[in-house]
Amino acid sequence: MLEKFERDFDLFVVQPEPLPPKELLPTMYDLPSEDPEEPGLADEFHDLQPQLLSQTLRITDYSADRIFTGTDLNLYYDARHPLWHKRPDWFLALDVPRMYENRDLRSSYVIWQEEVSPFIVVELLSPGTAKEDLGSYAEGIEEEERLETIEPAYGNELPPRKWTVYEKILQVPHYIVFGRFADRPRYFKLINRKYREQPLDPDNPRIWIPELGIGLGVWEGTFEGIARRKWLRWYDADEQWIPTYVERTEQQRQRAEEERQRAEDEFRRAEEERQRAEEEFRRAEDERQRAEEEFRRAEDERQRAEDERQRAEDERQRAEDERQRAEDEFRRAEEERQRAEEAEERLNQVVTSLLRSGMAIAQISQITGLTEAQIRQLEP
């Protein structure tokens, strides 16, 4: 194809008005993205998709230091042929140290040293890697090639394809192939030492891995600035997508913001409660002061009433005393009158007796102090 474009380009060069290079040269879609010596070498998708798988991997039954994920890393699988290796786009090994011998980063994964095969392998399918990745399940494979993938011959010193390595040699329990352009996964599960493709919902393909308690599904969204495409991504038991580093940071920021907002709301509510309490206290204090003022006024009224009552009682007592004095004066006057009447009666009797005795009126007047006229009134 490149030779054809070069010939076409030479023809266009001699034209009087050549087309611009953008319209003339092959596009990204026309050029191969794979090294002929190493089919399936990474393009940008092969770089980003494994990152998303690693970032969203969250396994609760295994600590982080007992999980290893490899991306485009040499996987040496055959001790009889130490240089034979495959480069899975992404794989997961369980119950192995995160660091090689707990001290160093891995530059490769050597089976006869690790003694643990990958638990899951994910290959990102491209047109040039279909036979390597899918073996007998690849479309358009010839019959002799199909037999070769099923029963590889080791005597010819040719390394087997990835499919055979994963199925026959390493016996990887879960093998998933995800096509960049088809945007749909294919899931092969090891059953009785042989891969069996598992049916998936074409509208919502989900691959649940019970041993991990999480699953793989196809998610459409933005990752690392690449928007509106479909990705293979882990989801949890609630069928919620497990967040990436950025999403977790954003979620933490949102939670922190929500906590800050809740704290501010609580502070505002507490401040409003404090203000309401202060207002209630002020109202209560005003009510108390008004009540004290009313009490003082009532006490003053009571005291005034008591004083009025006391004054009235004093007036009554004085009136009673005056009445008693008047009664006493009246009694004394009455007694004086009675004594006077009795004295007058006795005097009259004396005058009458003296008159009967023949004493002269003038002489009786001198004795009694009565006038002669008064004496004559008493004559019998």
pLDDT at 314: 87
CA–CA dist 169, 193 (Å, integer): 10
- pTM exceeds 0.85, yes or no: no
pLDDT at 11: 47
Burial (CB count <10 Å: 0-12, 13-18, 19+), residue 177? buried
Mean pLDDT in consecutive groups of 10 residues from the start of the chain, 380 residues: 47 53 40 44 81 96 93 91 93 94 89 94 84 73 44 65 96 93 90 96 96 96 87 96 94 93 94 94 92 90 89 88 86 85 83 86 86 83
Q: Are 125 and 133 in contact (CB under 8 A)?
A: yes
CA-based end-to-end distance of the chain: 193
Ramachandran category for residue 240: left, alpha or beta (phi over 0 → left; psi -120 to 50 → alpha): beta
The contacts of residue 128 (CB under 8 Å, 6+ apart) are 32, 34, 39, 40
pLDDT at 289: 92
The contacts of residue 55 (CB under 8 Å, 6+ apart) are 244, 245
pLDDT at 223: 93
Phi and psi torsions of 223, nearest 5°: -135, 130
CA–CA dist 29, 21 (Å, integer): 15
**Positive or negative, the Cα torsion across 366, 368, 373, 378?**
negative
pLDDT at 90: 97
